[in-house]
Amino acid sequence: MTPLALETKGSVLVVGATSPIARAAAAEFARQGYAVILAARDKDELDRIAADLRIRSRVEVTLLPYDADLKGSGTRLAEIALELEPPLAGAVWVVGDLGDQERAQEDVTHAKAIVRRNFTGAIDVFTPIANAFEARGAGFLIAVGSVAGDRGRAKNYVYGAAKAALHAFMSGMRQRLDRKGVRVRVVKPGFVDTAMTFAMGPLPLLASPDKVGQAVARAATGKKDEIYTPGPWRWIMLIIRHLPERVFKKTNI
């Protein structure tokens, strides 16, 4: 609809694009001058979000299907995204699903689905893109993790374990690729005001998805490798991570 400026900064792939965090991140990338590629399974929602971005942010939007539960979906997504014009400048993993911890304790299939949606899906998407970025010597990869990945808690340890694995995966890629000019970032939100937390009632340090989405998009250019959002979570998690296990196991944190 609006003609794209001839000089673009390239495009950014947002995976899991129908979440409120992803939507805000996409709008922020658009504001920074990137074209955006939105990938998700829910076609109706994807169309609505794309229309909104085109109208409000006046940005070029490409839609691609992605389903973390389908074998090969992530690899195919990465291949297509790498061939699109303008060339891919970065990729963001915003897929996440808290699942049902109690069910995961009984039902291993459910536990594995949680891991797939929070972690192993990212391997499929990021691996080919990371290799392309490495060869090119430029690009950024951002994953939305969680403070829940900083320490396993009884309330959500399957989710937490998947997020912890995601953090470690990104950290390893960072050590490998940072020297090649590829920025690898992790954004760890605390409680975000979305459907995931809405029923829980008022929560401490509750962040709006807009704020978190903006933090995600700004991570691409910022200096920090790991970003806690809102900021105070860095200190809260510092304390929680350092509680001795013999103390931690007796708490209900």
* Residue ranges in contact with another protein by CB under 8 A: 18-20, 40-42, 44-45, 48-49, 51-52, 55-56, 67-69, 95, 97-100, 103, 110, 113-114, 117, 194-195, 198-201
Closest separation in Å from C-beta 48 to another protein: 5
Nearer to another protein, 51 or 238 (CB): 51
Nearer to another protein, 98 or 215 (CB): 98
Nearer to another protein, 94 or 177 (CB): 94
Positions marked catalytic: 159
Tell me the pairing of strands 11-15 and 88-93. parallel
Rounded Cα–Cα distance for residues 110 and 239 (Å) = 31
Closest separation in Å from C-beta 92 to another protein: 16
Q: 65 preceded by cis ω (within 30°)?
A: no
Nearer to another protein, 19 or 184 (CB): 19
Closest separation in Å from C-beta 43 to another protein: 11
Residue 42 CB: number of other CB atoms within 10 A?
13
Rounded Cα–Cα distance for residues 139 and 128 (Å) = 13
Closest separation in Å from C-beta 52 to another protein: 4
Q: Residue 196 burial (CB < 10 Å; 0-12/13-18/19+)?
A: middle
Return the SS3 of 211: helix
With beta carbons less than 8 A apart as the criterion, state whether 122 and 166 touch: yes
Length of the chain: 253
Nearer to another protein, 66 or 169 (CB): 66
Rounded Cα–Cα distance for residues 218 and 176 (Å) = 22
Radius of gyration of the chain (CA): 18
Closest separation in Å from C-beta 201 to another protein: 6
Element (H, E) at 35: strand 35-40
> Structure tokens of 169?
């995966």
